[in-house]
């Protein structure tokens, strides 16, 4: 015995359309398209009319009885299969309070006609009122002149929707536009030139040609204007070449200046390079690592720094420094004497100096505030003013020559030091050595 036969024998499937003793609304309108758990699955509109989904039952103020069985399923393309129930076996819900009924009725009431509709309107007009208003707007638009906005009782001609005066003005504008177009087509396009280089008959024959759309009309030049145009074009190209040559020469001189700057920095015995790693990029980010090396590569200072606050996880993912790593490290105030000795009287290069100077200023202000200085910010500024701190990132980017049209300057280049202080300061020396070596591509 098949699954469908077993289900029908059990009484869980509505009778087929061949059963004459069934009411019309209890007879399926089509055969099931599938079976699920022994229950038929109907396509939309094929299930017996008396069956309801749970949502339809709730709209009729009915709810499922305890352990109420499913009798069939309705298949939807977007949401899958929904179970169907017998509304006669459902339980009535409690009546809605009058206040709730009044709110629901108000939400379904059209504000224009005052009729209560089946769907929620929320202050919008019903479809009938909207269509009526739309037809009224269309009739009013047909009776409104598109030129001056005058409204009359009869509709204006559908060809132009204008009154007589506006139509005459429109025709005059069209004639003037056509005349100007014709004058442009037969006149030399040279500057302040009115020589006629084509006839009106030629232009009209071109417009009458069905293939004219593929052969655009270009006004012809008279010989004097053509010679002048060629001469001016040649002069403009010459100026463009001279300007490009001047820019290349300026670029070459700038690259040579940066090469000399890098070579002089590497030859300076007082050169040091500084870098910091911090807790982030915010204005109150603290230093967690600091390194200073000399121009010859000797390490003058390389230490972790306890920031006195937790290191965010996103910062640790970049430089790999965690709270456990800096737990026993000295504070910034404890390394300040060593840092001052490493930088005092020396020329210090920093990759992205404005950022590192900002972090040093913040740490110095914290240190002097904890030490009881009357003006911690002024003390921090005095310490920074006593040092010679220069930026190395912008000179290297200008030397590298990767122009950015959006920002209107040279693109900043990555350092490639591994985001650790000692590795970054050594990478700065590598960039300086790279700059000191002439590279033809940087001049192009």
pLDDT in tens, 284-319: 999 999 999 999 999 999 999 999 999 999 999 999
pLDDT at 439: 59
Determine contact, residues 288/321, Cβ cutoff 8 Å.
yes
Taking only the tens of pLDDT, the chain with its 444 residues reads: 444 444 444 444 554 444 445 688 889 999 999 999 999 999 998 999 999 999 999 988 999 999 999 999 999 988 899 999 999 999 999 988 999 889 989 999 998 999 999 889 988 999 999 999 999 999 999 999 999 999 999 999 999 999 999 999 999 999 999 999 999 999 999 999 999 999 999 999 998 988 888 888 999 999 999 999 999 999 999 999 999 999 999 999 999 999 999 999 999 999 999 999 999 999 899 999 999 999 999 999 999 999 999 999 999 999 999 999 999 999 999 999 999 999 999 999 999 999 999 999 999 999 999 989 999 999 999 999 999 999 999 999 999 999 999 989 999 999 988 999 999 999 999 999 999 987 544 444
Distance CA 27, CA 18 (A): 8
Distance CA 262, CA 392 (A): 9
SS3 304: strand
Q: Which helix (H) or strand (E) segment is 388 a member of?
A: strand 388-391
DSSP string of 55-95? Answer: HHHHHTTEEPPTTPPP-EEEEETTTEEEEEB-GGGSEEPPP
What's the pLDDT tens digit per position in 393-410? 999 999 999 999 998 999
Query: Which residues are 404's β-sheet partners?
Result: 409
- Distance of CA 285 to CAs 278, 312, 361, 440, Å? 6, 10, 11, 40
> Could you give all domains of the chain from N- to C-terminal order, each with its CATH number?
3-92 (no CATH), 98-136 (no CATH), 253-442 (3.30.420.10)
The DSSP bridge pattern shows strands 388-391 and 347-350 to be parallel
Tokens 């709209």 correspond to: 59
């Amino acid at each position: 015995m098949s699954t469908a036969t077993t289900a029908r024998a059990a009484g869980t499937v509505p009778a087929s359309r061949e059963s004459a003793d069934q009411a019309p609304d209890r007879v399926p309108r089509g055969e099931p398209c599938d079976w699920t758990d022994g229950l038929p699955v109907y396509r939309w509109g094929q299930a017996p009319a008396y069956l309801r989904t749970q949502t339809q039952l709730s709209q009729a103020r009915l709810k499922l009885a305890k352990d109420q069985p499913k009798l069939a399923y309705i298949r939807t393309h977007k949401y899958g299969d929904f179970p169907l129930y017998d509304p006669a076996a459902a339980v009535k819900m409690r009546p809605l309070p009058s206040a709730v009924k009044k709110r629901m009725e108000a939400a379904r009431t059209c504000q224009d006609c005052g009729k209560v509709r089946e769907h929620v309107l929320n202050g919008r007009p019903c479809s009938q009122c909207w269509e009526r208003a739309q037809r009224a707007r269309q009739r009013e638009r047909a009776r409104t002149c598109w030129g001056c906005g005058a409204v009359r009782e009869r509709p204006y001609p559908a060809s132009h929707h204008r009154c007589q005066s506006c139509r005459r003005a429109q025709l005059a504008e069209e004639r003037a536009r056509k005349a100007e177009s014709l004058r442009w087509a037969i006149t030399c396009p040279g500057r302040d030139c009115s020589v006629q280089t084509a006839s009106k008959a030629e232009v009209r024959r071109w417009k009458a040609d069905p293939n004219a759309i593929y052969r655009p009309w270009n006004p012809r030049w008279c010989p004097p204007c053509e010679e002048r145009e060629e001469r001016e074009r040649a002069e403009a190209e010459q100026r463009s070449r001279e300007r490009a040559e001047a820019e290349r020469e300026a670029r070459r001189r700038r690259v040579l200046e940066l090469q000399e700057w890098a070579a002089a920095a590497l030859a300076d015995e007082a050169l040091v390079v500084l870098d910091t790693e911090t807790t982030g990029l915010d204005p109150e980010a603290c230093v967690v690592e600091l390194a200073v090396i000399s121009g010859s590569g000797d390490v003058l200072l390389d230490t972790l720094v306890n920031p006195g606050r937790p290191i965010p996880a996103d910062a640790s993912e970049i430089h790999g420094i965690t709270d456990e790593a800096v737990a026993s490290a000295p504070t910034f105030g404890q390394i300040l004497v060593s840092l001052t000795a490493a930088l005092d009287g020396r020329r210090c290069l920093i990759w992205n100096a404005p950022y590192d100077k900002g972090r040093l200023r913040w740490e110095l202000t914290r240190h002097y505030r904890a030490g009881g200085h009357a003006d911690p910010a002024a003390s921090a500024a005095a310490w920074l003013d006593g040092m010679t701190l220069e930026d190395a990132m912008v000179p290297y980017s200008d030397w590298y020559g990767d122009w950015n049209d959006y920002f209107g300057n040279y693109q900043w280049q990555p350092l490639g030091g591994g985001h650790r202080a000692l590795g970054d300061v050594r990478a700065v020396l590598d960039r300086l050595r790279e700059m000191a070596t002439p590279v033809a591509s940087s001049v192009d």
